[in-house]
């Protein structure tokens, strides 16, 4: 955030579904058939979800609804040196690519280790060790950062650790195991829609036409992806069994078979 604007950062993070979709196709976790309608729906839905999030972030348009509950005290500071925007863009792109790689790796791991809860525990444990090492290296001369106080900072840490890490990784693992990595990342642009709605009610932000149009496009894209993925998991046609008999039919069949054996003898 120090190297780019908040608006551009929010727009760049929406490339995650496209990155995960490409990686899933490369690692054969997602099957794409050009002439198949469900494959076309997944591709179009992924593009639409990303495009809708981009429209919400970059295009404002006229104001539809004013601030909710009075004047807005929220100010968005986008005063960033333009010479660092390129560096920030590269860092955000690398972050999205790393997140897409993580989802793909999680999908591959769950094929040989089908335990989402245990895997989420290992992810959180190893992540705690890695972040602790990095924090000690970066803040070794500032011991005050390790002090715990009963304030909003502690609440944010607890919420982030329990909900945003523990619960998120477990639910994400369950969905990845059942629906694949593309479905998980395709829902990520929905975060932009939720933020826009909560920003209107909580932060008293104005609701613009561009955000409404982008939200509609994003929801339609997510519906197409969900529809395409649901068709991938439709139950197969029942296997026709040639020898299914009831009890009486089985007795008659056995008697007829026994008479044929006697006749042959």
Residue pair 18/11 in contact (Cβ under 8 Å)? The answer is no
What's the pLDDT at 233? Answer: 58
Domain extents in the chain: 6-264
List the one residue out of 51, 50, 57 whose CA is nearest residue 195: 57
Q: What values do phi and psi take at 65, rounded to 5?
A: -130, 135
**For residues 114 and 193, which has the higher predicted lDDT (pLDDT)?**
114
| CA distances for 89 relative to 6, 96, 103, 123, 265, angstroms | 11, 11, 21, 27, 87
CA 20/CA 136 separation, integer angstroms:
32
pLDDT in tens, 135-147: 888 888 787 777 8
For 153-170, the pLDDT digits (tens) are: 888 889 988 998 889 999
Rounded to two decimals, the pTM is 0.69
Mean pLDDT score of the chain: 75
Say what the pLDDT of residue 157 is: 86
């Amino acid at each position: 955030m120090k190297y780019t604007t908040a608006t551009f950062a929010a727009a760049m993070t929406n490339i995650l579904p496209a990155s995960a979709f490409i990686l899933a196709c490369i690692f054969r976790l997602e099957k794409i058939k050009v002439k198949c309608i469900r494959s076309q729906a997944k591709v179009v839905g992924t593009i639409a979800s990303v495009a809708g999030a981009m429209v919400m972030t970059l295009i404002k348009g006229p104001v539809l609804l004013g601030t909710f509950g009075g004047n807005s005290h929220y100010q968005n500071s986008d005063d960033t040196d333009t010479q660092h925007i390129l560096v920030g863009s590269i860092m955000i792109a690398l972050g999205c690519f790393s997140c897409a790689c993580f989802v793909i790796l999680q999908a591959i791991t769950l094929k040989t280790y089908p335990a989402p809860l245990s895997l989420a525990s290992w992810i959180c444990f190893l992540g705690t060790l890695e972040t602790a090492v990095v924090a000690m290296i970066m803040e070794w001369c500032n011991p005050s950062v390790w002090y715990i106080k009963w304030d909003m900072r502690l609440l944010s840490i607890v919420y982030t650790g329990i909900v945003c890490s523990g619960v998120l990784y477990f639910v994400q693992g369950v969905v990845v195991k059942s629906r694949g990595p593309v479905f998980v990342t395709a829902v990520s642009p929905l975060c932009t829609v939720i933020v826009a709605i909560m920003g209107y009610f909580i932060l008293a932000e104005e609701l613009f036409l561009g955000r409404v149009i982008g939200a509609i496009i994003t929801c339609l894209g997510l519906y197409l992806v969900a529809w395409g993925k649901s068709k991938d998991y439709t139950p197969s046609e029942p296997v026709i069994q040639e020898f299914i008999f009831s009890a009486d039919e089985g007795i008659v069949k056995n008697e007829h078979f026994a008479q044929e054996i006697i006749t042959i003898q």
